[in-house]
Amino acid sequence: MDKHATSAPLWQQHARRTERRINLAWWLELYAPWAAGLSLAVLAVVLVMRRQGWPLPGGATSAALLGLYLLAGLGCWWVGRRHFCAGQAAMVRLESHLHLNNALSAAAAGVTAWPPAPAQVEDGLRFRAAWLIAPVLLTVSSLLLAFLLPVSGKAVPAALPPPLALTRTADLLKLLEKEEVADPAALDKAREQLEALLNQPPEDYYSHHSLEAADTLETALAEAAGQLGSQLKTAADAAESLEKYDSSLSPTARQQLQSEMENAVEGIKNSSLGASEELKKQLGNLDPSKLKEMNPEQLKKMLENFKAKSEACKNCQGKGGTGGKSEAEQALADLLNGKPGEGSGEGQGEDGKDGEGKGRGGVNRGPGTGDLTFEKNASDLSTNKLEQLESGDLSRSLPGDHLGTRDIEHQLDKSPSGPAGGGAAAQPAGGGDAVWRDQLMPAEQKVLRRYFK
């Protein structure tokens, strides 16, 4: 009795093994198609994400895939559990295959004793794995293709840089702010206009109105900086000349220099860029009548500061300090406007004294050359006079060349003509008769008579 009782757990173990094999077969039959279909969906999604350039972090992607396959497996288990084999059905399977004639079922019910249990029992089930090859290959190949297949990324449009005019304007504002030469309020206003152009959509950077606005802003700012630098240089040069040559200047020259300096100072204060507080303070001390009262070192330092700021304004975006003109262009403009050049000339005045005007030079004097001037009226070069060119060589004439015209009279034959005798035609037919009688064959004349009577 004890010997047979010890065989019960072994038979139950064999039955559970058979039960697991049957249930695994049912679950694989449901899960394999679902796993293959899920792999195809993963392939499509991953390829689209890679094509769009979306990130696929390894850890998160692996966790998501594992979660999808686990959910699919749990769903297949839930759907297929009605087909699963229970413990009693596994005992019946063993009885049928081992020909035990219900001995295991009767022993489990307590009717008879458990038969001797061998260590290994064949339940008669054979696992056919051939049908799983296709789903497994499809699943593995789909996952490999999803992550290893070369995919050309989506063409990402290159970020459009702002127009070069806006970049130069930004650099110009930084330079003016660094030199502390312009009014901060004016620079802030220009910076707001610059930011408004930079903050527009990149696709509008190179539209007609945007490019025109950028060029206008750059040109206006560069010209204002150039004019500011030119006026600073004019004020510094005039003040330096007044301070250095005060005793040797004539009243007219002194008045001209004072006027230039005052106009330059006024132009700086009224410019579109204005002047910084420090510059306004220095300009306030620049009084033509009080230059001699200022400390020479202080005046020299202030004038050097003006010239340094003038050079900084000249370097604004490569524009000259003369309102965007080069030195040669500015010199030509001054010459055309009648502005005298720099320097002084010596001339012969009344009573043998020195006077204002163009000198003639000398051994111990300057060259005496005067400023180049322009007459108000252009020279008459007779360029508007039309003249005829004549050539006697007719071999070089071309068709259509006008050789000449003359007036002539018609020559009329005024001799009288008498009546002429009739009869047969003494001359060949002319006009229409020539066509009808002389050039048409009889057959042709016959055809024409049918239509023309």
Q: pLDDT per residue over 280-317, tens digit each?
A: 777 777 776 666 667 777 777 777 777 777 777 777 64
Q: pLDDT per residue over 104-159, tens digit each?
A: 778 878 788 888 878 888 777 777 878 888 888 999 999 888 888 888 866 666 77
Q: State the sign of the Cα–Cα–Cα–Cα dihedral 164, 169, 170, 172.
A: positive
- Shared domain for 173 and 262, answered yes or no, is yes
Q: Which two tokens stand for residue 165?
A: 């005019």
Q: Is the pLDDT of residue 5 over 60?
A: no
- Shared domain for 172 and 320, answered yes or no, is yes
Q: State the sign of the Cα–Cα–Cα–Cα dihedral 215, 216, 217, 221.
A: positive
- Shared domain for 18 and 135, answered yes or no, is yes
- Shared domain for 335 and 201, answered yes or no, is yes
pLDDT of residue 92: 79
Q: Is the pLDDT of residue 205 over 70?
A: yes
- Shared domain for 310 and 224, answered yes or no, is yes
CB-based burial of residue 223 (10 Å sphere; 0-12 exposed, 13-18 middle, 19+ buried)?
middle
pLDDT of residue 15: 81
Q: pLDDT per residue over 215-253, tens digit each?
A: 998 888 888 888 888 888 888 887 777 777 766 777 887
Write down the mean pLDDT value for the chain. 75
* 149 Cβ neighbours under 8 A, 6+ residues apart: 47
pLDDT of residue 246: 67
* 391 Cβ neighbours under 8 A, 6+ residues apart: none
Last residue of a domain, one of 307, 340, 373: 340
Rounded to whole angstroms, the Cα distance separating 384 from 79 reads: 108
8 A C-beta contact, residue 88 and residue 108: yes
Q: How confident is the model at residue 70 (pLDDT cuts 50, 70, 90)?
A: very high
Q: Is the pLDDT of residue 345 over 50?
A: no
Q: Is residue 320 part of a domain?
A: yes
pLDDT of residue 346: 43
- Shared domain for 130 and 255, answered yes or no, is no
- Shared domain for 184 and 328, answered yes or no, is yes
User: Quick one: what percent of the chain has pLDDT higher than 70?
Assistant: 71
Q: Is the pLDDT of residue 347 over 60?
A: no
Q: How confident is the model at residue 256 (pLDDT cuts 50, 70, 90)?
A: confident
Q: Is residue 288 part of a domain?
A: yes
The single-letter DSSP state of residue 74 is: H
Q: Is residue 400 part of a domain?
A: no
pLDDT of residue 391: 60
pLDDT of residue 74: 92
Q: Is the pLDDT of residue 408 over 80?
A: no
Q: How confident is the model at residue 374 (pLDDT cuts 50, 70, 90)?
A: low
Q: How confident is the model at residue 319 (pLDDT cuts 50, 70, 90)?
A: very low
| Distances 37 to 34, 69, 96, 175 between C-alpha atoms, Å | 5, 11, 38, 65
Q: Residue 315: give the domain boundaries.
A: 164-340
Last residue of a domain, one of 340, 369, 402: 340
- Shared domain for 136 and 170, answered yes or no, is no
Q: Is residue 381 part of a domain?
A: no
Based on the structure, what is the number of domains in the chain?
2
Smallest CA-to-CA distance from 29 within 87, 69, 73 is with 73
- Shared domain for 134 and 210, answered yes or no, is no
- Supply φ then ψ for residue 389, to 5 degrees: -100, 125
8 A C-beta contact, residue 272 and residue 186: yes
Buried b (16+ CB within 10 A) or exposed e, 376-388: eeeeeeeeeeeee
- Shared domain for 246 and 125, answered yes or no, is no
Q: Which amino acid is at 330?
A: Q
Q: Is the pLDDT of residue 357 over 50?
A: no
Q: Is residue 158 part of a domain?
A: no
Q: How confident is the model at residue 358 (pLDDT cuts 50, 70, 90)?
A: very low
Q: Is the pLDDT of residue 334 over 50?
A: yes
Last residue of a domain, one of 314, 340, 366: 340
pLDDT of residue 41: 92
Distance of CA 259 to the CA centre of its chain: 49
- Shared domain for 242 and 279, answered yes or no, is yes
pLDDT of residue 222: 85
Q: Is the pLDDT of residue 68 over 80?
A: yes
Q: Is residue 431 part of a domain?
A: no
pLDDT of residue 349: 44
Q: Is residue 8 part of a domain?
A: yes
More confident call, 90 vs 331: 90
Q: Is the pLDDT of residue 380 over 50?
A: yes
pLDDT of residue 394: 64
Q: What is the dihedral of CA 332, 334, 338, 340, to 10 degrees?
A: -110
Mean pLDDT of 28-44: 90
Smallest CA-to-CA distance from 288 within 322, 325, 249, 324 is with 249
DSSP letter string over 254-271? HHHHHHHHHHHHHHHHTS
What SS3 class is residue 354?
Answer: strand
- Shared domain for 197 and 332, answered yes or no, is yes
Q: Is residue 76 part of a domain?
A: yes
Least confident window among 13-17, 112-116, 358-362, 389-393: 358-362
* 174 Cβ neighbours under 8 A, 6+ residues apart: none
